[in-house]
Amino acid sequence: MQLAGSAALVAGGASGLGEATVRRLHVGGARVVIADLNQERGEVLAAELASGATFVRADVSDAEDVQRAVATAAALPGGLRITTCCAGMAWAERLAGKRGAHALTSFESVLRVNVIGTFNVLRLAAASMLGNEPSASGERGVCINTASIAAFDGQIGQISYATSKAAIAGMTLPAARDLASIGIRVCAIAPGTFDTPLLSSLSEDAREVLGKVTPFPPRLGRPDEFAALVVHIVENEMLNGEVIRLDGALRMPPR
């Protein structure tokens, strides 16, 4: 899939991994729709990028919001051919402890944003891509979702987050198989510890210690490294149905 001349939708595109992805796709010549709940940040980013970037306020778990964002991207020249879902939330709580059982509401909230939100973007984007004119090789689009190494190495207190990311990893292959006959690829990226707003509450010393746990390079990942992998997946037609760890060989300990 060529970036130049294609329209892309980045859910959760106003900050962190999503913002870096928006910037990289835009530099590559794609017209990008930024879908996010943070209207202020989204509008500032779209204004900065100017031509070729549009902001749409959207809750990824809301069908009407996502359909509006998809329709906005589909109406752009070239049609919607690339989606990346970076929207997500984390929650720290043990399954059971001195305070009792894990709250059901927080577990439901994490799954609603991370799993239902990702599925919602994926299903509506794929349905829109059905109408695209196929490339010479028969490709109509590519959808890239964001899992996490927590899907495989979930730590203490991460049961809701790890479950949600495992679900994203698990939907990748069947989604790719469902869409293969119509020329739409599906992949997921499973990042390790990245320097994103999720870690912004930590001190610089704590962030440095966290980064040094990674075998190599011994630092936090940079959002632009995630975005670079998004671009590679878009451009490499053989990547399909795959969950790619992006973690510097990190395997998370229990805590």
Strand segments (E) across the chain? 7-11, 31-36, 53-57, 80-85, 96-97, 100-101, 141-146, 184-191, 243-246
Length of the chain in terms of residues written: 255
- Rounded Cα distance, 46 and 41, in Å: 9
- The residues, ordered by sequence, that sit 6+ positions from 96 with a Cβ below 8 Å of its Cβ are 102
Could you give the CA distance from residue 112 to residue 122 in angstroms, rounded to a whole number? 14
The two structure tokens encoding residue 70 = 């998809």
CA distance 252 to 107: 21
Known catalytic membership, residue 215? no
Give the position of tokens 């987050």. Answer: 161
Spell out a b/e string for 217-238, using b for 16 or more CB atoms within 10 Å of the CB, else e.
eebbbebebbbebbbebbeeee
- The Cα–Cα gap between 86 and 14 comes to 10
Which amino acid is present at 204? E
- Residue among 119, 161, 194, 226 flagged as catalytic: 161
Secondary structure percentages of the chain, helix, strand, coil, to 5: 45, 20, 35
Residues labelled as active-site residues: 161
